[in-house]
Structure 1
Amino acid sequence: MSKRALEGRLAVVAGFTDPTAALEQYPTPPDLAAHVVHLADLRGDVAGRTVVDLGAGTGMLALGAALRGAARVVGVELDRDALAVARDNERRVGARTTVDWIHADATRAPLRLDPSTAGPVTVLMNPPFGAQSGNEHADRRFLDAVSSFADVSYSLHNAGSREFVESFASDAGGEVTDAFRATFELDHQFDHHDEERRDLDAEAFRIEWG
């Protein structure tokens, strides 16, 4: 499946019905999700592998991996309503790979992945950036969780996060191998938004974990 075709399939993925600002529930745009999944697949990190989406929301990245031929996909999400939408989205996109949806805190995900059966594990995630008061360093907690079980991860972060991500990965025995800029096109969805649509600058990182 080409990146363009993948984006087209992901375009039907519904977003949050009642997003929570404290959880920074911003939907991952289908073009950005398709780009991340496409790059990961080109690096051999999706097809035939176990892929985990931490903070899966309504399933955009998890379903992208399922459409691109992952052997097994797991989506972990704290919001039950978002998980219900994710299950509906799975039926919409019609991926051949079934997604196992888990209701849990992604930073303490109850995952028991046996290396002898799961094989190499790839994480795809769009964690909270930690921009909301009381939710500072949220992306740090997600990276900490990833470092304990992933072989490689792809994650989206607020623009200007490269020094932090590289430092964190190095301290945890990992290495940032790729980085690129990204843009979120966000529709008005919270009271503190004063524009109908705005662009949010972000960065994506590929990390190989030791």
Structure 2
Amino acid sequence: MATKAALEAQLAVVAGFESPKVALEQYPTPPELAAHLVHFADLRGDIEDRTVVDLGSGTGMLALGAALRSPERVVGVELDADALSGALDNARRVGTHTPIHWVRADATRLPLCFDEHADDRDVTVLMNPPFGAQQGNEHADRAFLETVSEIADVSYSVHNEGSKEFVESFANDNGGELTDAFRATFDLEHQFEFHESARHQLDAEVFRIEWE
């Protein structure tokens, strides 16, 4: 298994959004966070020989990170065509060998079927969903979690700081158990008009959930 530092170096070439859309809360996942999340998931046995689904994959950071760690296959689901185009370019830059299936779709209305009764149903979801911080898009991460609860037996998701109570309650009500949580920081460049400084820090939390 490659080190976390090596994985971060491989993901450093992944380009972000050329024209990020505020309505979709398109913030790039930093390579250091993606590497940490994927490496942790791999150590827990949640990547190798499994199907990994990246919901709201953006330009592909988490999907590509997972593809570098020997899953059976990777599925990246993204609604925005421009972001998907960027993901395809990034896949060529990173040069993964694992098959990655890019699907243009709404992650909250997933056009994919997973047989929940199959003996080999091994699906891991990795996602950095919209936090629901924009007016009119409140609780967007809840809709993503609803999809996760239907398709995954384990998931890793990034949420706004202070979300643990909500995530744990949602998991408990939907056949899940929150097993791990850790803090994360996004050091983001100015990309929307309402950002007042050249760079700003976004505090977040990452949660691992096991689903029945």
For residue 61 of structure 1, what is the aligned residue in structure 2?
62
Map 1:5-154; keep pairs closer than 5 Å: 5-114=6-115, 116=118, 119-154=121-156
Could you tell me the percent identity over the aligned residues?
70
Q: CA deviation at 1:118?
A: 6.0
Instruction: Give the letter aligned to residue 87 of structure 2.
Output: A
3-state SS of paired residue (1:176):
strand
For residue 203 of structure 2, what is the aligned residue in structure 1?
201
Instruction: Give the letter aligned to residue 132 of structure 1.
Output: Q
Instruction: Give the letter aligned to residue 29 of structure 2.
Output: T
TM-score (norm 2): 0.97
Q: Provide Cα deviations, 1:163-200, integer angstroms capped at 9, x if missing partner.
A: 00000000001000000000011100000000111111
Which structure 1 segments of 5+ residues have no match? none
For residue 172 of structure 1, what is the aligned residue in structure 2?
174
| 2: CA distance, partners of 1:172 / 1:78 | 25
Residues 17 and 57 of structure 1, relative CA distance in 2, 3 Å threshold: same
Q: CA deviation at 1:117?
A: 8.3
Bigger drift between 109-118 and 125-134 goes to 109-118
3-state SS of paired residue (1:132):
coil
Q: CA deviation at 1:113?
A: 2.4
TM-score (norm 1): 0.98
| 2: CA distance, partners of 1:84 / 1:3 | 27
3-state SS of paired residue (1:76):
strand
3-state SS of paired residue (1:107):
coil
| 1: CA distance, partners of 2:112 / 2:142 | 19
| 2: CA distance, partners of 1:113 / 1:162 | 28
3-state SS of paired residue (2:108):
helix
| 2: CA distance, partners of 1:66 / 1:202 | 24
For residue 186 of structure 2, what is the aligned residue in structure 1?
184
3-state SS of paired residue (1:148):
helix
- Asked whether the equivalents of residues 50 and 118 of structure 1 are also in contact (C-alpha less than 8 Å), the reply is no
Q: CA deviation at 1:73?
A: 0.1
Q: Provide Cα deviations, 1:1-55, integer angstroms capped at 9, x if missing partner.
A: 1111100000000111110011000000000000000000000000111000000
